[in-house]
Every structure is written in C-alpha cells, then in structure tokens.
C-alpha cells in the first residue's frame, strides 16, 4: 500500500479507535510531526514504523480482506510485505543483527584504543613529544576513527528504526567531527600545527555542544531500550557541560567512559529487542494470514 492510501488508512484506523495523534504517538515512540506527515501522505514510513503504528492500533490484517474484493487482497498482501520487511530489506532482522553486532564490537575496540590515544595526545599537548613513533601514531588514529565510525553507525541504525532523528543526525555529526579531528591530528604530524591550543579549545567547545544534544537524543531511546538509555544520555550531557568549560575538558573524558560502556550495552541489548520485535510481528501476521 503506497501513499497517500497508507496514510489515509492509518488516519481512519486511528479515528475509529477514538485516538488523537498525540495519544497514538505515545504508544508508538514517534513524534507527532512524523505521524502527521505519514497521515497526509507527505512521507512513506519505514516498515518498522508501520508495524509499530499498526500494533498500537490493534490492526487485524484479516479485516482488510473481508468484503473488499481482489483490490483489498492485493493491498493486504502489499501491507504484509511492509510488515515482514520484504520491501525494506536493509531493515531485515538479519541485517540489524549483523550491523549492531559489528557496532558494539567496534564500540569495545574504540573504548580500549581510547586509553592509548589519550596517552599519545597528552604527551603531544603537554610535553610536545610523541610517545609512539609516527607510523604507530597514525595507525592508532586511523584505527580509532574506523572503530568510532562503526560504533556510531549502530546508533544511526537505532535512530532510523525507532524514528529518533535526533540520535540519527547527531551520530552523523559526531562521525563527521571525528573524521575532521583525526585528519587534523594526522596532518599535524607532518606540518607544524598553528596555535594548537586554540584549535583544541575550539574543538572542545563545539564537541561539548554536540554531546549535550546527542545526550538528549539518547534519553529519548529509553522507551525502546529501557532506562539504560536515560543514564547514557545523562552522562553524555554531563560530559558535554565539562567540555563547554574548556578548562574542565579533562573531566569530560572521564565522564564519557561510563557513557560509552552504557552505549555498548544499548547496542548489544538492541539486537535482542529488535529481533524479538520482528519475530513477534511475524508471528502475529502469520496468525492473521
């Protein structure tokens, strides 16, 4: 079922249940604006979003085919494909499991490499000397970058699946920021960095603001993944506040440690949540088929 028919059907179902848009979104963990755009046919929701909305509306696929002829049966068949993720293959349970597994493993690697990176940057900044050789330093920085990108990609996926655009966008921002920062650090090995202290201060201030917004987004995942998201978001916000002060940025690094560990757990836990949800949805659909 394509737009605008899908949006009209969802709107009709919601009204038949006597629900306002605000009441429905409370059950679906999506924003009112997203539901509004779906109902007016402005956007085509992803399969997971469709499933979540219809589950909240207690929608029975068997009622679609009763007395509506071949066209209704075709529409029901199309809707089944959406619900079974046949249309949006990149959100299949197998894809989610593989990608989130890569993400949490990358998160562990990023967390461990962070200790070596912190030592290298501390000596460069305070003593103006390299604790590692240049090839090792560059390899370390690239490894940190790759692991961070894969780690944050997990939250891009979670943000997409749960329609949490704040997490999704800020994860992209963090990835871009890490790429730029790593590029500067590697380039500074070959070219004398101009006013490195000023650059680091600017990075800390901007990074602090990003972390605060990112933390707010993480807290919004609590409905989907539980209270652990609330604590992860709180630590991110707190770390961001320390980075904003610049002079207390070193405390922010320590505060980020529990945040990163909690985020690794969120990704690991997210695998079971999404697979379980997909399995339940498949079972419900087969019962009505």
Residue 8 has pLDDT above 80, yes or no: yes
pLDDT the model gives residue 252: 93
Task: Measure Cα distances from 181 to 107, 176, 231 in Å.
Answer: 18, 9, 27
CA distances for 185 relative to 147, 168, 190, 194, 199, angstroms: 17, 26, 10, 12, 11
Query: Out of 10-19, 189-198, 199-208, 278-287, which region has the weakest mean confidence (pLDDT)?
Result: 278-287
Q: Do residues 263 and 107 make contact, with C-beta atoms less than 8 angstroms apart?
A: yes
Q: What is the mean pLDDT of residues 172-176?
A: 93
* Structure token pair of residue 13: 């179902």
Q: Which fold has domain 5-89?
A: 434 Repressor (Amino-terminal Domain) (1.10.260)
Portion of the chain with pLDDT greater than 90, in percent: 37
Q: What share of the chain is helix, strand, coil (3-state, %, to 5)?
A: 80, 0, 20
List pLDDT tens digits, range 129-168.
788 888 999 999 999 999 999 999 999 988 887 888 899 9
Residue 61 confidence (pLDDT): 45
Domain ranges of the chain: 5-89, 92-277
- Split at pLDDT 50, 70, 90, the class of 177 is very high
């Amino acid at each position: 079922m394509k737009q605008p028919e899908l949006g009209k059907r969802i709107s009709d179902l919601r009204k038949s249940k006597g629900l306002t848009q605000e009441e429905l979104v409370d059950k679906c963990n999506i924003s009112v604006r997203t539901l509004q755009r779906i109902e007016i046919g402005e956007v085509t929701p992803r399969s997971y979003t469709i499933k979540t909305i219809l589950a909240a509306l207690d929608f029975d696929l068997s009622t679609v085919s009763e007395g509506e002829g071949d066209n209704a049966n075709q529409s029901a068949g199309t809707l089944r494909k959406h619900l079974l993720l046949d249309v949006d293959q990149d959100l299949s349970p197998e894809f989610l499991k593989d990608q989130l597994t890569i993400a949490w493993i990358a998160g562990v690697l990023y967390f461990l490499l962070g200790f070596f990176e912190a030592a290298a940057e501390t000596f460069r900044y305070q003593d103006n000397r390299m604790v590692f050789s240049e090839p090792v330093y560059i390899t370390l920085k690239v490894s940190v970058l790759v692991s961070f990108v894969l780690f944050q990609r997990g939250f891009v996926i979670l943000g997409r699946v749960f329609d949490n655009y704040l997490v999704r966008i800020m994860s992209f921002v963090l990835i871009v920021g890490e790429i730029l920062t790593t590029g500067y650090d590697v380039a500074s090995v070959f070219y004398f960095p101009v006013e490195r202290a000023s650059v680091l201060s600017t990075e800390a201030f901007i990074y602090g603001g990003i972390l605060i917004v990112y933390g707010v987004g993480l807290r919004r995942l609590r409905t989907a993944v539980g209270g652990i998201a609330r604590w992860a978001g709180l630590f991110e916000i707190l770390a961001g506040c320390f980075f904003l002060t610049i002079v207390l940025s070193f405390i922010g690094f320590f505060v980020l440690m529990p945040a990163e560990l909690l985020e690794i757990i969120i990704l690991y836990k997210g695998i079971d949540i999404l697979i379980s949800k997909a399995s339940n949805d498949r079972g419900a659909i087969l019962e009505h088929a």
